[in-house]
Structure 1
Amino acid sequence: EDMSTLRALRAEHYPRATEHIPEMVAMITTLLEQGNAYMADGDVYFRIATFPAYGELSHLDRAGLRPGARVSTDKYDKESVSDFALWKKSQPGDEKLGAGWDAPFGLGRPGWHIECSAMSKRYLGDTLDIHAGGIDLMFPHHENEIAQSEAANHKTFARVWLHSEHLADATGEKMSKSAGAFTTLRDLLNAGHDPLAIRFFLIANAHYRARLRLSNETLHSAAEQVRRLREFADRVNRTQPAAEDDANFTARVAEVRTGYREALDDDLNLPHGIGLVFELIREANAALDAERVGEQGLAELRGLIDEVDAHLDVVHAEEPGLAEEVERLIAEREDARKSRDFAKADRIREDLRQRGIALEDSKEGVRWRRVK
């Protein structure tokens, strides 16, 4: 429900680890047969010494690994302190919790890392085009995924890796569920923040590899940016073309569109691309005021808006049927004004205002926008 509120596309599959134990057992069996894994005291561990590329993703200094250095020094009889568990033997009470499965190497449960490798192989194949995750998962989780997957499948595990930084509070401290210092989407909605503004804040406020600070101020700023984008798109759609195009302005729109694409090609630098778009909006409003935007210029602006919104999904996003209903009420209000029934016209305006919709009369006609 929360992801739908943020207009996030749904995945095609939401696999459960408990439904893919056979795939995990098969992969562990392959690793054991190849000598990439070994048994110790009923557990199965991955032998990192058999995978020389271990640590390349996170630029890990393997020579510097010491007991206690970001790896758990448990009591089990491992060959190396940095070897990680693929399978853990059952402990008293595991079966009562439904956490025990039969395997050729004994009754037990899979390790955390093998689940991801087995399920991704099942649905996405041996090689992923893009693997994303939080920066805290790079080591050891993603390093372990790479090691066990590439050792078992003899193919590159992921072509591109994207690691996002943490969401932080207003002070810059990382939000942590375990510490109780976190904010939910519903908290923000209950505080009156627009879900489209929250979406814009999350994807366009800062580069995905930079820490993102959440505050009322940053959310209000995002809401203002969404408002400006929507109002500009509405103005472009309502504007009649000038008699002639200003060739310099039309070229400027094309230049910004190219710059926007280049920003996204540069490690998905959406914030920089959006910055270019807002610079153009100021210039475009001045050009529209001066009637320097003809058919070609308007077409270029619409193309840019559509391209940007294909990523942001905040300009054309509406509640189902809302736009049609508002336009119908605007037409009723205009009819009432023509009939000099100003009481009805005022009542329609007030009803829309109560629903967070403001009407603005302009030379292009009546415009509407969301307000708080």
Structure 2
Amino acid sequence: MQTVYNTYSLEKETFTPIQDGKVTMYLCGPTVYNYIHIGNARSTVAFDTIRKYFEWRGLDVNFVSNFTDLGDKVINQGKKEGLTEEEVADKYADAFLEDAAALNVEPATTRPRATQYMEEMVSFVEKLMAEGQAYEVNGDVYFKTNQFKNYATLSHQNMDELKKNAAGRLEDDDQDEKHDPTDFALWKKEVRPDVTAWPSPWGPGRPGWHLECSVMIDELLGDTIDIHAGGIDLAFPHHTNELAQSESYHDERFVNYWLHNGFVNVNDEKMSKSLGNFVTIHDLLEDDSIDPQGLRYFLTKTHYRRPVAYSRDRLDQAQAEMDKIYRTMRGLIAKADDNGDVDSDVEKQVLLLKERFVAAMDDDFNVENALTVMFELITLGNKMLTSSATASTISRVKDELASWLHIFGIDNFEEERELPKEAKAILEERKAAREEKDFAKSDELRDRLKEMGILVKDGRDGQSIEWSS
């Protein structure tokens, strides 16, 4: 029985999809104005893992995740780079897809852009206005939060405190126009000559940030969906406002299960540009010493609702675990053969481990417990490699392990881990030092490589290396 933690109820609930065998799932995607940071990637990877587990369990997942390709961030980045809004969006949307592919994130079923749904957004707002749930002031349109009785339920906040702006997260630039301080913008007028605007009954303008996701869900997934996902920082105000406007529009439940992932802290501090600890996935993947699958594993190995503590040391520790996985899988692949019978005792052990693995993942996707079971399967695989196990028995363990690893986005075992450029240069320097019989320098260079996690052995055929674990 699959359970998920629903932010709306603050409880684990039995997951029952609307349609048997199918899951409708929406993940709030990035605003495409820069390279994604490690926090964006954490959300992307966490819900890709959940999607992959559903699919591993045999469910058909209709997974929609958007690009926000408009707004002040896109406009301001365009001014910095001398690009149009569309060019900025194209550049960083492509960069996101490239980074996501490097992390083995499965492409979304649909990846819509906000600018593709302007007519639908205007129609959505018109209906809310016609039903008295929104109002217009000088070309701006606002949603009446007082008209929606459960407005603060998802964020579990006190409505009176919200009205006082105690959370410090409400818009301040248009408070004089609003009937109530918690009302939020559905449409904003746009009069700047160098900024893209779209026509509407209230004059040229742009949609409010919250509107786009409601409309894209409506158009691509339906009135009510199984899962809406995103970072916990989106629970208020973004998802709170989505819920209010969508349930007011349809007069029925918007989302059955709200899932939110935890933050990423960098070097034990909240990530921010002002602290100088802003880490982008693009920069990490540019580093030759970082294995993309190791980075994916690092982001995956913490339960999605818990915060991830990023540091280079912790990433290296995760990579050491990843290297153990590589060694075992490559050994199993080399000796596996599907022809023949599987040892019944090994089959029994594999099935018992699989039962525990499923129990862990069915418990709100508890990857930490699931990975503990997975390393027990790796231990079993290593025993098979040093025993007289048949090739078909080894193949059985290999296939089971590979299917679990796929859930965590780990599929490539064919190539050895790439050495950093610096390590390659040191190895060449060390080779020359040994040829010149400068063994003191050779030992010094060997120690430098060891600090990088690379062990060097000297043999009849020269240097050989392996990664420390």
Question: Which of the five TM-score ranges fits, normalised by the shorter chain?
Answer: 0.7 to 0.9
Unaligned runs of 5+ in 1: 324-356, 361-367
1:253 alignment partner, one of 338, 350, 354? 350
1:215 alignment partner, one of 311, 335, 338? 311
Residue 82 of structure 1 aligns with an amino acid whose one-letter code is: T
Check whether the contact 1:127–1:159 (CA below 8 A) recurs between aligned residues.
yes
Taking the aligned partners of 1:187 and 1:231, their CA distance within structure 2 comes to 27
1:119 alignment partner, one of 195, 210, 216? 216
Q: Counterpart in 2 of 1:146?
A: 243
Alignment of 1:335-346 (within 5 A): none
Offset at 1:32? 0.6
Taking the aligned partners of 2:413 and 2:219, their CA distance within structure 1 comes to 34
2:257 alignment partner, one of 151, 160, 164? 160
Q: Counterpart in 2 of 1:128?
A: 225
Check whether the contact 1:164–1:209 (CA below 8 A) recurs between aligned residues.
yes
Q: TM-score, normalised by structure 2?
A: 0.62
Taking the aligned partners of 1:178 and 1:21, their CA distance within structure 2 comes to 35
Q: 1:250 to 1:168 in 2, by over 3 A?
A: same
2:359 alignment partner, one of 259, 262, 266? 262
1:8 alignment partner, one of 97, 105, 123? 105
Q: What SS class does the counterpart of residue 262 from structure 1 fall into? A: helix
Offset at 1:114? 0.7
1:60 alignment partner, one of 157, 165, 184? 157
Q: Counterpart in 1 of 2:186?
A: 86
1:234 correspondence with 2:330: yes
1:76 alignment partner, one of 155, 166, 176? 176
2:136 alignment partner, one of 39, 42, 49? 39
Taking the aligned partners of 2:243 and 2:275, their CA distance within structure 1 comes to 30
Offset at 1:31? 0.5
Residue 90 of structure 1 aligns with an amino acid whose one-letter code is: E
Q: Counterpart in 1 of 2:439?
A: none
Check whether the contact 1:260–1:273 (CA below 8 A) recurs between aligned residues.
yes
Taking the aligned partners of 2:354 and 2:209, their CA distance within structure 1 comes to 44
Q: What SS class does the counterpart of residue 269 from structure 2 fall into? A: coil
Alignment of 1:191-206 (within 5 A): 192-204=289-301, 206=302
Q: Counterpart in 1 of 2:436?
A: none
Residue 350 of structure 2 aligns with an amino acid whose one-letter code is: V
Offset at 1:261? 1.3
1:225-257 Cα deviation digits (max 9, x unpaired): 22212222233334479x997755543321111
The RMSD of aligned alpha carbons is 3.3
Taking the aligned partners of 2:113 and 2:411, their CA distance within structure 1 comes to 35
Residue 187 of structure 2 aligns with an amino acid whose one-letter code is: W
Q: Counterpart in 2 of 1:345?
A: none
1:96 correspondence with 2:194: yes
Q: What SS class does the counterpart of residue 194 from structure 2 fall into? A: helix
Taking the aligned partners of 2:308 and 2:158, their CA distance within structure 1 comes to 29
Q: 1:289 to 1:37 in 2, by over 3 A?
A: same
1:316-361 Cα deviation digits (max 9, x unpaired): 3557xx99xxxxxxxxxxxxxxxxxxxxxxxxxxxxxxxxx99x9x
Structure with more contact order per residue of length (Cα contacts < 8 Å, sep ≥ 6): 2
Offset at 1:46? 0.7
Check whether the contact 1:133–1:163 (CA below 8 A) recurs between aligned residues.
yes
Larger Rg: 1
Offset at 1:278? 0.9
Taking the aligned partners of 1:247 and 1:18, their CA distance within structure 2 comes to 58
1:206-231 Cα deviation digits (max 9, x unpaired): 11111111222222222222221222
Check whether the contact 1:250–1:296 (CA below 8 A) recurs between aligned residues.
no
Check whether the contact 2:378–2:401 (CA below 8 A) recurs between aligned residues.
no
Q: What SS class does the counterpart of residue 163 from structure 1 fall into? A: strand
- Number of residue pairs matched by the alignment: 324
Offset at 1:180? 4.5
Q: 1:156 to 1:240 in 2, by over 3 A?
A: closer
Alignment of 1:344-359 (within 5 A): none
Q: What SS class does the counterpart of residue 130 from structure 1 fall into? A: strand
Q: What SS class does the counterpart of residue 228 from structure 1 fall into? A: helix
Taking the aligned partners of 1:294 and 1:114, their CA distance within structure 2 comes to 59
Taking the aligned partners of 2:412 and 2:204, their CA distance within structure 1 comes to 54
Check whether the contact 1:167–1:213 (CA below 8 A) recurs between aligned residues.
yes
Check whether the contact 2:143–2:245 (CA below 8 A) recurs between aligned residues.
yes
1:271 correspondence with 2:368: yes
